[in-house]
Amino acid sequence: MIEISKLNAWFDDHHVLKDVDISVPANGSFGLVGESGSGKSTVLRTITGLVDDWEGNILVNNKELGTTRDKTFYRLVQMVFQDPFGSLHPRHTIDRILTEPVNIHGLGNSDSRVVEALKQVGLDNSFRFRYPHQLSGGQRQRVAIARALILEPKVLLLDEPTSALDVSIQAEVLNLLSRLRRDLGLTYIMVSHDLAVVAHMCDDIAIMNHGRIVERATAGQLAEGSLEHPYSQQLYKAAGGYDRAVVDSFVDWD
Amino acid sequence: MNTQTTISKPGLKQWLTSDTPRSRLQAKCGRAWLGWIKFTENKLAMIGLSIVIGLILVTIFAPLLAPYDPLAADLANRIQPPGADHWFGTDQLGRDILSRLIYGAQYTLLIVGLVAITAAPLGLLVGTAAGFFGGWVDATLMRITDIFLAFPKLILALAFVSALGPGLENAILAIAITAWPPYARIARAETITVRKSDFIEAARLQGTSNMGLIIGHIMPMCMSSLVVRVTLDMAGMILIAAGLGFLGLGAQPPMPEWGAMVSDGRQFLLEQWWVATVPGIAIFVVSLGFNLLGDGLRDVLDPRGGD
Amino acid sequence: MSNEPLLNVKNLKVTFNTPKGEVNAVRGVSFSLGRERLGIVGESGSGKSQTGRAILGLTAANGRITADELKFHDVDLANLTPKQWRKVRGARISMIMQDPKYSLNPVMTIGDQIIEAYREHHKVNAREARHRAIDMLEAVKIRDPERVFNSYPHEVSGGMGQRVMIAMMLIPEPELIIADEPTSALDVTVQLQVMAILDDLVRDRGMALIFISHDLHLVSSFCDRVLVMYQGHVVEELAASALHEAKHPYTKGLLNCLPKMDGDHSDLPILEREASWAEG
């Protein structure tokens, strides 16, 4: 479904992505893990056309992506952002937020589509005409997912979708995302700094550091803890909570 | 998406404060209602609002309220002090000052209203375009704005009126031309803050055009600051109009514009103080009203205070 | 470990007056703290941050603090004048906050801020203060203390900023540190490195620590005791080593709903909230 090869990107002379290769089959789920500055979010932004300076090949659904994106692309690929507080327009009702894409793409039946989209993410009709500030973080993120799904895309790019949420809400949202992938046959690329989240949600994982993929693993390999690259091992151990011996073994990867 | 057709008093309040609105209209009204409640808690702001509403009412009902024809000269009764017949006295042509004051309110409101509805949208458009597109669009638009901002408002207005010729319409035009630059600045600043937000990127990713983004997404975010600034500026606009009127460049005689009335009364200031002072006080009260209203609006609309 | 408690809190309540009515952020929290590390864990709305702030009298103006007892040694924290607070804050009890982007003054150099913190409570000349500040920067493992001393907060990374914050808060040598999500804004490896620094400093100086966080695992691997809060109440108190023996359904639910790296992709258990938990 998604084939990225030799992707390089620059921000003002900073080489932020270095020869990134990613391959995701249809209905697959691919995880990108890394710390801040690793370039993981930049990969997503390059796919969506928000990065100007890049080189390489990006194929989505066998179609090569160029410098601009058009409406057919937006009906194929959608994104869920990290910050539930920032990704919904504070002055728009939920109804407007969900109706706008329907109208832009001329899909019609906006009323029933909105109701259906809310149902899909587990929100009832009472939320429809509220404003974002009247919703909790988890509810906002559900609206963000509904918004992404209302155009019936095949690919969802998830940029740290649960990092800003409480742990118990995170579990609900992750379950929702798993169910949606199953029911709608979606393909995911999920970016996170949390190895456990990615291990739980994804089939294949790539670990990034300073713009480069340092290691790839399947969820199974991660479960066994069989990582080879020292950076990956460091990340793996760090996920286990505070352990003095572990910290003392850390190396600075700058 | 139904709204109730028969709404009784308690029903209306419930409709407005409902936690689960059933339509966008209900949601918007509910929000406005909450804003109104917050506004009414501010006593000074309510005073400001009353003054402004008073101005509007006086303007609408001028023919009913004014005891005399504002333009009717009565040379036998020149410069009468305030008394039973003429509550604020008469001016040098025997015209009733109270009536002139009441009719003059129309000019004040006209000036302030026309300037606001021309300068604010212009500033908003220029500012959002500059902030959104950046690059040479931003540079060009902002340099033009800077040129206008470089001149003190009154001087610039004077220059325009002198070029265009004296008269009320030209005065309004001149004031509008001097008023828009700060709005452009405000709109641009808000746009720059907002344009990197996730919700703008999300809208882009849905296929929203640039125009759609600016009008539907960015402009609503600028509205609060703009409304507050425009309201606060109204006092200044009144003063500039009065200044132009004072210099004979605004409303021409015999129009009872307040600034011109102050100018007329200058020569009698020491002994027949009321001719100049009464319209002066009117200018002061209305300016104060707009200032208090603007302050109150800012407390309610300030985006940093949350919704 | 703990002989006589430093801090005694009984029935602490914090209520906020908001336009929408009264909000009870903290509803009767009690605990005592010796020379140990206490973790307070909860999700958003649990009242954990407000508890920490109440101890230092940092509750917002529209909040009301009441307690049967709120004592630091013999000092009654519930009734201090601003002048008395100045002697306590920084000198005896200090607070480390979450994001150095917002908690460090952006227009002062780092060095100036640390010196200011130090000279607030110690009468020394400028040179001595500078010396102590550089020492403190070294103690938080900053490799180039002179350069950081002269930098502004926006010129250093998040992890470095947080270490600066720790330096600033520890330089007056307080007895008790309250750390409110001190590492939540940091990358995972940096998080642990910063905690190691805190670990050393707290141990070497014999300080007591209250560590507030949403991360149950992190807190239990770092602290001696853990309080679990839910909607303003403490629902469970346990030794950190006994976390797996947690009894309260909320604590157990919280532990269970975390994704694990065991290759199991089935749905995560959801936390079913009971109304009875909010009644404490």
Interface of B with A in 93-112 (CB under 8 A): none
| pLDDT per position as a tens digit, C134-169 | 998 888 888 888 899 999 988 888 888 888 888 888
Quickly state the pLDDT bin for C227 (edges 50, 70, 90): very high
Residues of C in contact with A174 (CB under 8 A): 259, 268
Q: Would you state the pLDDT for residue B33?
A: 85
* C-beta neighbour count of B220 within 10 angstroms: 14
Q: What is the mean pLDDT of residues B190-208?
A: 91
CB pairs under 8 A between A and C: 103
Q: Which residue in the set A137, A200, A246 is minimally distant from C259, CB to CB?
A: A200
Is the CB of residue C260 less than 8 Å away from at least one CB of chain A?
A: yes
pLDDT at B128: 95
Which of A242, A246, A249, A251 to probe the C interface (max C CBs under 10 A)? A242
pLDDT above 80: residue C218? yes
Whether the per-residue pLDDT at B44 is higher than 80: the answer is yes
> Each residue's pLDDT tens digit in chain A (254 positions)?
889 999 999 988 888 999 999 999 999 999 999 988 888 999 999 999 888 889 999 999 888 888 888 889 999 999 999 888 889 999 899 999 999 999 999 888 888 999 999 999 999 888 888 889 889 889 999 999 999 999 999 999 999 999 888 888 999 999 999 999 999 999 999 999 888 899 999 999 999 998 999 999 988 888 888 888 888 888 888 887 777 777 777 777 65
- Tell whether B307 lies on the interface with A, counting CB pairs under 8 A: yes
pLDDT attached to residue A253: 63
Q: How far is B197 from chain A (nearest CA, A)?
A: 6
What pLDDT, on the 0 to 100 scale, is given for residue B305?
41
Asked whether the predicted pLDDT for residue C1 surpasses 70, the reply is no
Whether C129 contacts chain A with CB within 8 A? no
Residue A225 DSSP code: T
How much is the pLDDT for B10? 66
In this structure, what token pair is assigned to residue B205? 């990713």
Task: Please enumerate in sequence order all residues whose Cβ is within 8 A of that of C33, keeping only pairs 6 or more positions apart, or say none.
Answer: C2, C5, C6, C7, C8, C9, C176, C208, C210
Burial of B226 (0-12, 13-18, 19+ CB in 10 A): buried
Q: Quick: pLDDT tens for B49-84.
A: 999 999 999 889 888 888 888 888 888 878 888 888
Mean pLDDT of chain C: 87
Q: Look at B205 and A48 and tell me if their CB atoms are within 8 Å.
A: yes
Each residue of B111-120: pLDDT tens digit?
Answer: 889 999 999 9
- The per-residue pLDDT for B138 is 94
Q: In chain B, pLDDT over 90 holds for what percent of residues? A: 27
Distance CA(B80)–CA(B98), nearest Å, equals 12
| The pLDDT of residue C3 | 61
3-state secondary structure of B212: helix
CA atoms of C109 and C114, how far apart (whole Å)? 9
Average pLDDT in chain B = 85
- pLDDT per residue over C202-212, tens digit each? 888 889 999 99
Rounded Cα–Cα distance for residues C114 and C133 (Å) = 6
Q: Report the DSSP beta bridge partners of residue A30.
A: A189, A204
Tell me the chain A residues in contact with residue C271 when contact means C-beta distances shorter than 8 Å: 168, 171
**Burial of A210 by CB count in 10 Å (0-12 exposed, 13-18 middle, 19+ buried)?**
middle
Q: In chain A, which residues have their Cβ closer than 8 Å to the Cβ of C252?
A: none
